[in-house]
A and B are shown apart, each in its own frame.
Chain A
Amino acid sequence: MKQTNKIFRNIWLGIENVLMHKLRSFLTMLGVVFGVGSVVAMLSVGEGASKEALEQIRKLGSNNIIISAVKSAEEEAMSTQHSHMSIYGLTYEDYLRLSESFGNIKESAPVKLLRKESRLRERSMELRVVGTTPEWFKLVPRAIIAGRVLLSADQDKKAPVAVLTEFGARKILATENTIGQTIRIGGDEFEIVGIVKSESGQAGNIQIPDQQIDVYIPIEVARKYFGDVFMKITSGSFEREQVELHQIIAQVNNTENVESTAQAIEEMLKRFHKKKDYIVSVPLALLKQAEATKRTFNIVLGSIAGISLLVGGIGIMNIMLASVTERTREIGIRRAIGAKRRQIVLQFLIETVVLSTTGGIIGLGVGALIPFLITYFSGMMTVITLGGVLLPLLISMTIGIVFGLYPAMHAARVDPIVALRHE
């Protein structure tokens, strides 16, 4: 009890001494302020980046494998020719093979994508039509806002039903009350049965499966009503494309099997496709990539922060050495009165630690402001964790001890007789 009292008193004396020279103390701690500030900012940006990545992976589904149709390079070259029909992409066969012959795949959904002008009462806009199966909603789980999602009964009956996304619904002025009403998609009428939430955006180079203006219909219906051939009219010429499936999303039963399964799918597709008109994307790989990026990022920023902390520490050491010289007489007085060497060491060490820790606390504020500004101006996610606060504080205290030790030892070596005569 008495011991802790003594420590607090020592610290208080240190604070008093620091407060006696406010401007000098402030300038002294600036180095640490910026050093700690950059550490805090770095940690929060790094943490935010990885959290953002995780968030995106979650949207993609971490056990999912997304196989997308792309135009092969050869097709791309041919398609400039007039009235050429490109045939590419995934097929129903691919989907069947995938869903039936891979033991590791728990769930899979075929996806057909097209854009159609849609109309609800007087309101019309272009929606992205997603022809898929009820499994989609297990693979891309989103909250239901109203009504229901697609059911296998819809699939069996080839029922013309549509599930809207929240954003699209708002755009086309559909509400909960709209459920049961009819929406025209292209030339055909569908019954609105539900509204779901949507996520959107990009995770690395993988497009998140759903978009904000999606409308989900049973794949059989999409096939029956819209067929597999699409026309694209581009500046005077038109091209035709025949694509059976635009995407297949598959969920693997175990995270450990994701990469090997993706490889097997790739092998399988290679055997059946003459051209490389598909891409197998693995969100998990993205996660690993994000982690690797974060590591690099941390190393680079960490060294910068480390250097500024070092500079800050040297700055403190410099000023403390000057302070020791300036206060030689004081040290002499204290020694004459009976202060032991280690008490002088402690006094100066505490002063340095108080300086550096105060600098650290101010730096924490500055460092918390930087991520805030980053988030405000660039929209990048930043997260300040408890560790991100404690670590810099610990570092600043350590700096005080490391860089305060030499000036403190210097102070203790002062000869009281000489010091008392010092002017």
Chain B
Amino acid sequence: MADQPLIENDEIVKLDKAYKTYQMGMQEVHALAGVTISFKKGSFWAIMGPSGSGKSTMMNILGCLDRLTSGRYLLESRNVGSLDDDSLSELRLRHLGFVFQSFNLIPQLTVQRNIELPLYYLGWDYTRSAKRAEELAEEVGLGGRLHHRPTELSGGEMQRVAIARALANNPRIIFADEPTGNLDSATGEQILELLVNLNRQGKTIIMVTHEPDIAKHAHNKLHMTDGVIDKIE
């Protein structure tokens, strides 16, 4: 038993008896109440559940935006629970990508500058990042929109920008938080197609959604209720 590694080679993230507890007045609320699960490299997971089920908390924990109250979170071989704020930032910067429901682009910056944002923090020089941004825009079908501002784009286009930005650092895992929540179903399908394609190229994708139609694109589904895993499909 002692020789057993904490995380298997083909696993990318692993939660072990994960608890996240909030103090609400006199009451303790468990957003995560002892979750143990591991995701394989290259998998496409949909985390489902009603609001308040803990799926967003799970996403924040897995995305290194938040820390567990107790339990263990392993990202590849790193014990994320013992990392400080700077190291968590570093981890997000180098290995993770995020796509949000409300796109979360910076309105003052052009499409190009939004895509370049992670590269800026990675310290890439101007020409190199401009080239990378151009390639990414092409990849997500946004060629020719590089110098527009987000406010001049449609919802679908904004989400494409967000995906391009999430890809800029060539991440191991892409976290998508209700990526189609603000889009009509046709546009939503296109965005999902993009994610499916990325998954085919080998990226691990963890998506939070409450729509079964969207979740059906994922290989694995995880249902949550009251901070615990209800069902795995």
- Where the two chains meet, the residues of A that have a C-beta atom closer than 8 Å to any C-beta of B are 2, 5-6, 9, 17, 20, 329-330, 332-341, 343, 416-417, 420
What residues of A have a CB within 8 angstroms of the CB of B120 in the complex?
A: 9
Residue of B at shortest CB range from A423?
B102
Q: In the complex, are the beta carbons of A20 and B90 less than 8 A apart?
A: no
Residue of A nearest to B57 (CB): A417
Whether a CB of chain A sits under 8 angstroms from the CB of B93 is yes
Bound-state Cα–Cα, A26 to B169, Å: 37
Say whether B89 contacts A340, CB under 8 Å.
yes
A338 with B108: CB separation less than 8 A: no
Which residue of B86, B92, B122, B123 is within 8 Å of A336 (Cβ)? B92
A338:B126 contact, CB within 8 angstroms:
no
Given contacts A417-B65, A417-B66, is CB(A333)–CB(B104) below 8 Å? Answer: yes
The chain A residue with its CB closest to the CB of B108 is A20
Shortest Cβ distance from residue B92 to the other chain A in the assembled complex, whole angstroms = 4
Contacts A6-B123, A420-B100; is A337 near B108 (CB within 8 Å)?
no
Nearest A residue (CB) for B175: A336
A/B interface sample: 13 pairs, CB < 8 A:
A5-B125, A6-B123, A330-B108, A335-B89, A336-B65, A337-B98, A338-B121, A338-B122, A338-B169, A340-B89, A341-B86, A341-B89, A417-B60
Bound CA span A420–B178, Å: 14
Report chain B residues within 8 Å CB of A6. 123
B223 at the interface (CB under 8 A from A): no
| CB-based contact B118/A337 at 8 Å | yes
Q: Does B8 contact A (CB under 8 A)?
A: no
B85 at interface by CB-CB < 8 Å? yes
> Cβ of B218: which chain A residues have Cβ within 8 Å of it?
none
Measured CA separation A354–B95 after assembly (Å): 33
- Interfacial chain A residues near B92, Cβ < 8 Å: 336-338
A343, B93: Cα distance in complex, Å: 13
Q: Which residues of B contact A17 (CB under 8 A)?
A: 108
Q: Is there contact, CB below 8 Å, between B89 and A338? A: yes
Which B residues are CB-close (under 8 A) to A20? 108
Chain B residues 10-62 with CB under 8 Å of chain A are 60
Q: Contact: B165 with A337, CB < 8 Å?
A: yes
Q: Return the 9 tightest CB-CB contacts between A and B, nearest first.
A: A338-B93, A338-B92, A340-B89, A333-B104, A337-B118, A340-B86, A338-B89, A330-B106, A20-B108
Q: A333-B104, A341-B86 are in contact. List 20 more A-B contacts (CB 8 A).
A: A2-B125, A17-B108, A332-B104, A333-B117, A334-B117, A336-B63, A336-B104, A337-B98, A337-B117, A337-B121, A338-B118, A338-B121, A338-B169, A339-B93, A340-B85, A341-B89, A343-B121, A417-B60, A417-B66, A420-B100
Tell me whether B94 is interfacial, beta carbon within 8 Å: yes
Find chain A residues with CB under 8 A from B60 CB: 417
Task: Give min CB distance, A416 to chain B, whole Å.
Answer: 5
Using a CB–CB cutoff of 8 Å, the interface residues on chain B facing chain A are 60, 63, 65-66, 85-86, 89-94, 96, 98, 100, 104-106, 108, 117-118, 120-123, 125-126, 165, 169
Contact A340 B90 (CB under 8 A): yes
Contact B118 A416 (CB under 8 A): no
Q: How far, in whole Å, are A416 and B92 apart by their CA atoms in the complex?
A: 12
CB contacts (< 8 Å) of A330 on chain B: these are 106, 108
Instruction: List residues of chain B with CB within 8 A of the CB of A9.
Output: 120, 126
Chain B residues with CB under 8 Å of A417's CB are 60, 65-66
- The CA of A322 and the CA of B126, in the complex, are separated in Å by 30
CB-CB under 8 A from B98, the residues of chain A are 336-337
How many Å from the CB of A320 to the closest CB on chain B?
Answer: 16
> Would you give the shortest CB distance from B56 to chain A, in whole angstroms?
9
Q: Which residue from B66, B89, B96, B106 sits with its C-beta under 8 Å from A333?
A: B106
Docked pose: A337 CA to B92 CA in angstroms: 6
B165 proximity list for chain A (CB < 8 A): 337
Q: Contacts of B89 on A, CB cut-off 8 Å?
A: 335, 338-341
What's the Cα separation between A202 and B108 when bound, in Å?
62
Which A residues are CB-close (under 8 A) to B86? 340-341
Contact partners of B85 in chain A: CB under 8 A? 340-341
CB-defined contacts of A338 to chain B, threshold 8 Å: 89-94, 96, 118, 121-122, 169
Which residues of chain A have C-beta atoms less than 8 A from B94's C-beta? 338
Residues of B within 8 A of A341 (CB): 85-86, 89
A17 to chain B, nearest CB (A): 7
Q: Tell me the complex Cα distance, A338–B100, Å.
A: 15
Instruction: With both chains docked as a complex, state the minimum distance between the C-beta of A21 and any C-beta of chain B, in angstroms.
Output: 9
User: In the complex the two chains form, what is the Cα distance from A71 to B100 in whole Å?
Assistant: 95
Cα A181 to Cα B207 with chains together (Å): 110
Partner of A416, one of B65, B105, B122, B126: B65
**Within 8 Å CB of A343, what residues of B?**
121
- Highest count of chain A CB atoms <10 Å: which of B85, B89, B100, B108: B89
Pairwise interchain contact B104-A420, C-beta atoms closer than 8 A: yes
Q: Report Cα–Cα, A420/B96, bound state, in Å.
A: 16
Residues of B within 8 A of A340 (CB): 85-86, 89-90
Chain A residue at smallest Cβ distance from B60: A417
**Inside 8 A of B108's CB, which chain A residues have their CB?**
17, 20, 330
The residue in chain B whose Cβ has the minimal distance to the Cβ of A334 is: B117
B80, chain A: closest CB distance, angstroms: 14
| Distance, CA A416 to CA B104, complexed state (A) | 12
CA distance A275 to B3 in the complex (A): 115
- Residues from chain A with a CB closer than 8 A to the CB of B117 are 333-334, 337
Shortest C-beta distance, A284 to chain B (Å), equals 62
CB distance from A51 to the nearest CB of B (A): 48
The CA of A336 and the CA of B125, in the complex, are separated in Å by: 21
Q: Which residue of B lies closest to A335 (CB)?
A: B89
Q: Complex Cα distance A335/B122, Å?
A: 13
- Please report the C-alpha to C-alpha distance between residue A175 and residue B106 in the assembled complex, in whole angstroms: 79
Beta-carbon contact of A329 and B104 below 8 Å: yes
**Which B residue sits closest to A12, measured CB to CB?**
B126
Cα of A334 to Cα of B90 in the assembled complex, Å: 12
Complex CA gap A332/B85 in Å reads 14
Min CB–CB distance B23 → chain A (angstroms)? 16
